[in-house]
Structure 1
């Protein structure tokens, strides 16, 4: 079990962190984490950006509580953890009230349909400040449809959507995780520089639709 919040074991989480660095977060950003899990990203970002504030929601109240037992998670107001449905968490936000939205929620091996459709992405766009950023973990399965619908819905709500992931996964040759990076403008060149130096093969596709 990792005790150092700077260390991210999963490749998609490193893509999250790289996308956030490329974006350049405001000093006192407010981030909403949909699919808190054990608060790995919330803990990482709280350490990396000490003036940031985070709200972590999960339908399962058990995992975040266990995380508080395992690790010394930041306390409120820097990190607030609560049980809440991921659609409700975004739909009830005030307009332009978030700087960063992270989605890492799964039902089995796919994103719940209610978190991957035009309704969710529309609420996400409404809740973001003009220069805000959304990063979403997508399970891409060859021949599947959910990840395609997810990418299309993201493009309907955001001007710029870029996919980051293993090249074979981006090309639909094998299953794996793809990170969608959505904003009014995404620094594709910065993401490509990150991909070029990543420890594992990483591709960046600004036109990916699954």
Structure 2
């Protein structure tokens, strides 16, 4: 019999709250300032959201945790209809109890895993899909398979954005195959990462912005200069190289993170 997960909510000196599951950080939330995105890759994902036309935006999130990015969208684009696929119902219940969502929000959390949840969505029903889901520090294989990428493309409206938070070792072999798989359904993609991660100096997160429409790389780089940590952006093709796309038979989860404690939070 497995132990029930334990959740903690630790307030910091800035007034924000870190959500911990079994002692591991899952999210940082500031109820008074939803635009304060402490973790670098969350701020990078927000760059993608901000590229969309102004006004309410339909977004599907795969992975919820503290609902940090969903709160950001609600704050910056009030009235946006959002679906959050988060299978950890106990975590969602604890978050909603300790960190209530704003009034008049349109955030709907469904206790489903990402792969089956996205497969059940209607065609052309989302302006953006955000993939930010990890299982024991690894991106699940079924979120990176050709079948999954096909569903993301189907669910997105023309010109919509697929945003993925990936992770890899300095050799970037898994990232390259992931990018090659994305490229089978999306013609344009840009990758953002912290400068030392992009230089291959350490394990880290890579945020991918993919679409069927071209990106303004200069605009993305300009927005990246506003982030607290030095962030670089590169066309995905320069990181993909000659890597072969995953197949539904050989797709694997992203590499496990190094033993450095709580290396990521959402």
Alignment TM-score > 0.5, same fold = yes
Match of 1:176 among 200, 204, 227: 204
Check if 1:16 corresponds to 2:19: no
**Which residue matches 1:92?**
120
Q: Rate the CA distance shift 1:34–1:75 in 2: closer, same or farther, 3 A.
A: farther
Q: What is the match of residue 166 of structure 1?
A: 194
Counterpart position of 2:152? 124
CA RMSD of aligned residues (A): 1.8
Deviates more, 1:67-76 or 1:46-55: 67-76
For residues 161-196 of structure 1, the C-alpha deviation after alignment (integer angstroms, 9 at most, x for no partner) is 110001332233311111000112222111111223
Equivalent positions of 1:12-161 (< 5 A) are 12-21=41-50, 23-25=51-53, 27-74=55-102, 78-143=106-171, 145-161=173-189
Q: Is the 8 A contact 2:47 2:224 kept in 1?
A: no
Runs of 5+ unmatched residues, structure 2: 1-16, 18-29, 242-266
Bigger fraction of residues in helix: 1
Q: Is the 8 A contact 2:58 2:127 kept in 1?
A: yes
> Could you list the per-position Cα deviations for residues 30-88 of structure 1 after superposition, in whole angstroms to 9, with x for gaps in the alignment?
11000111111111111110021111111211222111112221468701111101001
SS class of match (1:197) = coil
Q: Against the structure 1 CA distance between its residues 140 and 75, is the aligned structure 2 distance closer, same or farther, given a 3 Å change threshold?
A: farther
Secondary structure of 2:150's partner? helix
Q: Write out the 4+ residue segments of structure 1 that deviate beyond 6 Å after TM superposition.
A: none
Which structure has the greater CA radius of gyration? 2
